[in-house]
Amino acid sequence: MEEEKQNRLLVLFASQTGNAMDAAERVGREAERGGCPSVDVLSVDAFDPCCLPDEQTVIFIVSTTGQGDAPDSMKAFWRFLLQRNLGHQWLEGLRYAVFGLGDSSYQKYNFTAKKLDKRLSDLGAKPIVERGLGDDQHPSGYEGAFDSWLASLWKVLNQMNAAMLPRISDIQDARIITLDLPKFHITYHHVEKPKQCFPANADLDNLAKMIEGARLMSAAQPRSDDNRPQYFLKMIRKLSLTKAGDRDVNHFEFEAVSSDVRYQAGDILEILPSQDPIAVDAFIRRCNLDPDCYIKVQPRDKKKQMVDYHANDFMNSIKLRTFVELTMDVASASPRRYFFEVMSFYATAEHEKERLQYFASPEGRDDLYQYNQKERRTVLEVLSDFPSVQLPFEWLVQLVPPLKTRAFSISSSPLAHPNQVHLTVSKVTWKTPYGRPRHGLCSTWLAGLDPHDSQGVYIPAWIQKGSLPPPPPELPLILIGPGTGCAPFRAFIEEREIQNMNMPTAPILFFFGCRNEKTDFLYKDLWLSQAQEGGVLSTQKGGGFFVAFSRDQPQKVYVQHKMKEQSKRIWNLLSEGAAIYIAGSSNNMPADVTSMLEEIVSEESGVSKESAARWLRSRERAGRFHIEAWS
């Protein structure tokens, strides 16, 4: 056993969206192709960190989420590494490499990889190569850095131990590349079974079990520690918040139907969207699948099996069409690079095979990125472009991007709206570089729903703890939320309004921004009513409401400009211990607002900009500075 560990290459990944897992699996494939005798690729939450000193060589592939956060799967592992009783020689003898996946448009770019690299080094481990940092903003995505980093890693490992570790010559030799077995095994039942469909509210429990069973079988399986209750929410109201223009923002109200929904202001609602049935049917026809047969999907690796199949196989099966509909994103997400590599083995037309092999090669990386990711080609579109390819369903289950839940900041307070959840959702639309129209899957689906449908509209949803903790009534607040970033602050202000009826509450300064006063002044009546005498945003209570209309005048005006005008009031409230909350688009807003806060603190307190930045970081460590941003 000890000798096996010495000869093992361990690859640990921490993934939130699946990219880090995909990169880690590529590391494992290349290591095996290069002749490495023992390779294990594991999610970091499937590995006991106590055993880390027993390993010889570990490759970490980790993503960064939100504002510098580690993925959920890595949080327990990271807490373990931070224990003070771990000495500086605890990992002496461990060789490691770290590759991070991040987005440089966020302030804390690749923060997880940087922290992990430093902590491993502090504990005595020795880096094999310098850490690699993949950037979503790179013309080729994270692979723009990953390809060269991985080539350097293999070269160094080969030099360190050519007999045991991957041979770089074999990894790079396209002539010896073979196709692995797919990770899933599928059992088919071509028999009649009572019809499955999305039932009415009387059968919501059955639907919940169907969703859970399908997703536990698939690559879309939830986190292993995910025991959050699943709710079915009935849409009871939809209201357009914008007028004619290029933005379509809706306010949705939902009511829990089976059990009381429990959440706090600042929490997140995750929704499993429905796919276009026309697209699902087109995918099934393109892949020559039988939509009415029943299937059971199991990992070939029994250790990864999450569903107990001790009962009859047939009783645990699910209709193929339902499985596709609930777990496989066939017409929204773009496939990853390995999808093209596997397709090349099944292409019967020579010109298609050559093009797919080129796309899967390092030389074709940039062209693949332009064709696939930049254009947001869907699985259905890619398969249509290569008609000679007929992938087995086992490979499709593995390679089609899983249908993911979509997360939205809750814009209601449970005190103000018991057993209800409100959302503020902008319908996402854009054009690709070649002018092809694209639409966000979940936002478009929600916008098309009618709460007055005679059958009722029910959505499967889960509550997730947000990154904006609910503030106590005695805490002064400075809220900055342009556009739909106002959503969590609607919840805060509704909650503070209820609290204000029973106890003294602290003041709130709220800075809101939109394009035009007449077209997208979201929740205008609420903000203005609370800014009047007695309201929680009123000057009488020490608060204030300030709105920036960026396009109502020749020169752009943003929330940071309004903050500059109120610098003394901001500083006075900060001096009283106020907490800062920022929510909205991740593009430039969080960095611009933070820079303005540094400028205000510097000017009002008479310290340098660097000292002001350090002071704000201390506020963050004290739990008084929070950012929730999304792309």
β 126-127/95-102 pair status: parallel
Is 16 annotated in a binding site? The answer is yes
| 630 among annotated binding-site residues | yes
Residue pair 536/497 in contact by the 8 Å Cβ criterion: yes
Question: Which run of H or E residues covers position 318?
Answer: strand 318-319
To the question of whether residue 19 is assigned a binding role by annotation, the answer is: yes
Strand blocks (E) in 515-622 = 544-549, 579-585
109 is in an annotated binding site: yes
312 is in an annotated binding site: no
Residue 57 labeled ligand binder: no
557 labelled as ligand-binding?
yes
Contacts of 100 by beta carbon, 8 Å cutoff, 6+ apart? 62, 63, 64, 110, 112, 113, 114, 131, 132, 133, 134
> Would you say 409 is a known binding-site residue?
yes
DSSP letters along 443-459, please? HHHHHT--TT-TT--EE
The count of other CB atoms within 10 Å of the CB of residue 412 is 24
Is position 17 annotated in a ligand binding site?
yes
484 in a labelled binding site: yes
Q: What angle do CA 109, 589, 371 make, to 5 degrees?
A: 60
Q: What's the rounded Cα separation, in Å, for the pair 70 and 75? A: 6
406 among annotated binding-site residues: yes
Q: How many angstroms separate the CA atoms of 481 and 490, rounded?
A: 10
Is 550 annotated to bind a ligand? Reply is yes
Cα 449 to Cα 447: distance, rounded to the nearest angstrom = 6
The reply to whether 441 sits in an annotated binding site is: yes
**20 known member of a binding site:** yes
Residue 62 burial class via C-beta count within 10 angstroms: exposed 0-12, middle 13-18, buried 19 and up:
buried
Q: Is 180 annotated as a binding residue?
A: no
- Do residues 296 and 271 make contact, with C-beta atoms less than 8 angstroms apart? no
On whether 237 is known to bind a ligand per the annotation, the reply is: no
Confirm whether residue 408 is marked as ligand binding: yes
DSSP assignment of 222-264 equals: PPTT--PPEEEEEEEEEEE---SSS--EEEEEEEESSS-----
Question: What region does 18 belong to: left with phi over 0, alpha with psi -120 to 50, or beta?
Answer: left
Residue closest to 578 by CA, chosen among 510, 491, 490: 510
274 is in an annotated binding site: no
Say if residue 276 is exposed, middle or buried (CB neighbours under 10 Å; 0-12, 13-18, 19+). middle
Is 101 labeled as ligand-binding? yes
- 3-class DSSP state for residue 27? helix
Is 140 annotated among the ligand-binding residues?
no
CA distance 410 to 263: 9
Q: Is 614 annotated as a binding residue?
A: no
556 known member of a binding site: yes
Q: What is the CA radius of gyration of the chain?
A: 26
Q: Is 285 annotated as a binding residue?
A: no
77 is in an annotated binding site: no
Residue 144 annotated as lining a ligand binding site: no
Buried b (16+ CB within 10 A) or exposed e, 576-614: eebbbbbbbbbeebbeebbebbbbbbbebeeeeeeebbe
Residue 148 annotated in ligand binding = no
Q: Enumerate residues 6+ apart whose C-beta is below 8 A from 194.
A: none
How far is residue 154 CA from its own chain's centroid?
30
Residue 103 among known ligand-binding residues? yes
> What is the CB neighbour count within 10 angstroms for residue 324?
27
Q: Angle between the 524-531 and 487-500 helix axes, to the nearest 10 degrees?
A: 40
- Asked if residue 66 belongs to a known ligand binding site, the reply is yes
Binding residues for FMN: 15-20, 63-66, 101-110, 136
Binding residues for FAD: 376, 406-409, 440-443, 630
Binding residues for NADP(+): 484, 550-551, 556-560, 592
Binding residues: 15-20, 63-66, 101-110, 136, 376, 406-409, 440-443, 484, 550-551, 556-560, 592, 630
